[in-house]
Amino acid sequence: MIKLLIVDDHPMILDGSKKLFNAVSDISIDTLNDIESFADVIEKKVYDVFLIDVNLGACSGLTFAELVKEKYPSSIVILYTGDDIKDYYSLIIEKKINNVISKTATKDRILKTIYAAMNNDMLLPEDFIDYVNDSCSGNSIKKILRFNNREKRILELVMEGYTNQAIALELGVKQRTIENNLSQIYTLLNVGTRAEAVIKAKEMNLI
């Protein structure tokens, strides 16, 4: 039996997600929308798979993904998001998460992704191969940290003194999306502040 925890701060989405798995006999599902109790929940019960929404109100799903990976390295962490899933490919390469699924994915796609991960396999779109190829130099298998265009632009605007709200207006996205992008950047660079992110990105010639 696969023990699955779905984390989302929207009760209606959680209810729909739970119904999605009701007829699946080999998956035991719990849901969580009280983000404050996340640490207590994973302390009391060990899950095989965590399906975590990227946008969790004032928090970031990336923060919770990192917490799970630190506490239970063998657990499977899958992000699900309304953003372009390519924005999170770098986290897969860096082994910060196991996979990412679009919120528009079908039930069949979600189940196949979970089953594949449980079998130490990975179900991803074809363009993931292009992303990996672009991240490598020639035949070298050395991984290269790289940012997508949005992440680079966010850091450029941070350097210019833009606030998160101003960056969101400049790029035409929600402020919460910018905050999540910054959280991802912090995770990749192993830093904790905007200033540290800019300094380290410049040192690594990423911007």
What span, in angstroms and rounded, lies between the C-alpha atoms of 142 and 137?
8
Query: Between these two residues, 57 and 123, which has the higher pLDDT value?
Result: 123
> What distance in Å separates the CA atoms of residue 134 and residue 144, rounded to the nearest whole number?
9
151 contacts: CB under 8 Å, gap ≥ 6:
87, 181, 184, 185
pLDDT at position 195, please?
A: 84
- Above 80 in pLDDT, residue 17? no
Asked whether residue 142 carries a pLDDT value surpassing 60, the answer given is no
Of the chain, the percentage scoring pLDDT greater than 90 comes to: 17
Domain annotation for the chain: domains and CATH numbers: 1-132 (3.40.50.2300), 147-202 (1.10.10.10)
CA torsion, points 16, 17, 23, 28, in degrees to nearest 10?
A: -140
Q: Using 50, 70 and 90 to split pLDDT, how confident is the model at 87?
A: confident
Residue 44 Cα distances to 38, 69, 79, 128, angstroms: 10, 16, 22, 35
pLDDT of residue 133: 73
In this predicted model, which residue has the larger pLDDT, 143 or 99? 99
